[in-house]
Chains A and B, each alone.
Chain A
């Protein structure tokens, strides 16, 4: 462990490499986390199946690439539309029935069940193997080869930023975005003013699913996926949202990129196999410190 730290100190260009890689892919995590923050803020639901939706999007890209020969980058709009419809379907069949539920654990359990169902379905349909859909775009050598950036990371960063800008504009200026924001501020008042809350919720959940799908397409191009890796993405999005706070768009993007860079560096120092455990332990530590701080004021975090 100490030797790895020494390597990083001795060769700053390597550290820079790790951080830049982290920042580039961090935009993808930020997208996924933004979807979670959206449904958390608007519907007060946390989605344990977030990561599974990401993996599902990845599998769609993979299938379109290998079965139909569509270039992975071109599959992204298809995946977004398919996952949007999938989100609507899940909303109508599962989430819609739980909205009036006072016991929040019921909704959490439902998304937990959904996560397990999706894991097992994906394993049954796509098999348990690790798959990837790398479009082989080559590398970018900067500063005489001191920095190596693979083009796919660059492309996915650009796509993620593009999606984020579209999302920002939609949320800020379109009628849909206005109704979503109004509902999140006060559902009752929004309903009185003639907003169809049910449709807003359905759209919000579907947008979240579409964001997860886009994230998944990018993930399967950069790394590899298998049916049971979704939990890591779920944790990451929780982590980002909890650190940045709900409804803080820029905060989520920067936190996502920062966490990803941090993760890359710690992953190098203590070994990539502990990466998920590190994210989780950090998440728990942060929440516990917040909880202790709240307890001093006779409050609790909820």
Chain B
């Protein structure tokens, strides 16, 4: 058993290593950045999917909304008036350093706020449903958002838009900046979520998972708790989305922002692979899946996405509890065997 103190020491050690990793592998900073992105995605999905047991297929919506709102704010904040004759997807905004960071901060924050509002509005409708209907309702969220975004000219319609260029002649490069930014957000998400799960709020979420009717009859307003949980997820997802848009440098509705087959599926599979309903499970799943994907999936050529689909099926059918769940079960089994022996 790892004690709390040891666990904290391990966390700090891990963080110290993460902080110096960019200096060790300067050519792979973007890859390393994505590991933090994936951790955020998996953690936020687990808030509803793991802690309350509501498998949401539509969380990708908030990622895309954060991405788009932030990109629009970054584009329009300091460059007054769009030239209407220009094609939106080709507008590249050049900002100086202070403008860039101010617009990035304001954009990220407004993206997060819009996502939270959306989560509250949609959630008060959708989260009142249970079971099959909830799954159906969330399944199409990302898809519908992508189609709507493809029809709006202001955000570049189907051909997408370009995020502002990172200002040159800075002490810290683009890759390193976003690496540390995502590191910070991921760590903040982790500690906040851990705090939440330990609090009464977390207990209420788990009560919903275990038996929603009983939770309700004990006086827990289950729908409100679910909405609150979803909003917190949406907040961090939108922040991650704003960052991803800037890392890639280009946003497009189907392939990047509301991309079901990549981010949308990854966040689910990572959380389940690691062990849903735990705080370390999503982190573990994100690190394992993403490093596995980057190291050997490229050798599968065109079949890597097939492998992803197969992986989902295998994990869900054979290991629905994930890696941490497996070890937990085994430990319980061992304990029960030990206690039986003790009695005998």
Query: Is A139 at the interface (CB under 8 A from chain B)?
Result: no
Task: Kindly list chain A residues whose C-beta atoms are within 8 Å of the C-beta of B265.
Answer: 116
Cβ–Cβ contact B130 & A106, under 8 A: no
A78-135: which have CB < 8 Å to B? 94, 97-98, 101, 103-106, 108-110, 112-114, 116-121, 123-124
Contact B136 A238 (CB under 8 A): yes
Docked complex Cα distance between A108 and B254 (Å): 24
Q: What is the CA–CA distance of A48 and B312 in the complex, to the nearest angstrom?
A: 14
Is residue A295 within 8 Å, beta carbon to beta carbon, of the partner chain?
A: yes
Q: How far is the CA of A98 from the CA of B133 in the complex (A)?
A: 19
- B147 and A276 within 8 A (CB): yes
Chain A residues near B130 (CB-CB < 8 A): 300-302
* A108, B126: Cβ atoms closer than 8 Å: no
Which residues of B lie under 8 Å from residue A271 when comparing CB positions?
Answer: 151
Q: Which of B292-344 contact A (CB under 8 A)?
A: 302-303, 305-306, 308-310, 312-313, 315-318, 320
Tell me if B268 counts as interface (CB < 8 A to partner A).
yes
Interface residues of A in 273-302 (CB under 8 A from B): 273-274, 276-277, 280-281, 283-284, 287-288, 291-292, 295, 300-302
Q: How many residues of B contact A (CB 8 A)?
A: 41
A288 to B53, CA, bound (A): 20
A231: interface (CB < 8 Å) = yes
Q: What chain B residues lie within 8 Å of A46 (beta carbons)?
A: 132, 135-136
A235 at the interface (CB under 8 A from B): yes
Q: How far is the CB of B126 from chain A (nearest CB, A)?
A: 7
B57 at the interface (CB under 8 A from A): yes
Contact B317 A116 (CB under 8 A): no
Please state if B308 and A288 are interface contacts (CB–CB under 8 Å).
no
Asked whether any CB of chain A lies closer than 8 Å to the CB of B140, the reply is: yes
Interface centre among A40, A98, A108 (most CB of B within 10 A): A108
Tell me the interface secondary structure of chain A in the complex.
helix
- Closest Cβ of chain B to A52, distance in Å, is 10
Q: By the criterion CB–CB under 8 Å, are A117 and B53 in contact? A: no
Give A277 to B130 CA distance when docked, in angstroms: 22
CB <8 Å contact, A295 and B55: no
Q: Max chain B CB contacts within 10 Å: which of A98, A234, A283, A295? A: A283
Find out whether the CB atom of A117 lies under 8 angstroms from the CB atom of B136.
Answer: no
* B209 nearest in chain A by CB position: A103
Q: How far is the CB of B206 from chain A (nearest CB, A)?
A: 14
Which chain B positions have C-beta within 8 A of A300? 128-130
Question: Are A104 and B320 in touch, CB under 8 angstroms?
Answer: no
Bound-state CA distance A280–B145 (Å) is 10
Please indicate which of the listed interface residues A103, A105, A274, A301 has the most CB atoms of chain B within 10 Å of its own CB.
A105
Name the contact of B309 in the complex, choosing from A119, A274, A280, A291 (C-beta under 8 A): A119
Contact A274 B147 (CB under 8 A): yes
The answer to whether B143 touches A283, judged by C-beta atoms less than 8 angstroms apart, is no
Is the beta-carbon distance between A280 and B143 smaller than 8 angstroms? yes
B140 and A105 contacting across the interface, CB-CB below 8 Å = no
Give the complex CA separation of A230 and B313 in angstroms: 18
Across-interface contacts of B54 in A (CB, < 8 A): 105
Assess the A284–B137 pair: CB atoms within 8 A. yes
4 smallest CB-CB distances across A and B, nearest first, come from A117-B309, A113-B312, A288-B125, A105-B55
- Told that A104-B132, A117-B310, A121-B309 touch, could you supply 4 new A-B pairs with CB distance under 8 A? A48-B135, A94-B313, A274-B151, A301-B129
In the assembled complex, 6 residue pairs joining A and B whose CB atoms fall closer than 8 Å, in A order, are: A116-B261, A120-B309, A242-B133, A276-B144, A284-B126, A291-B125
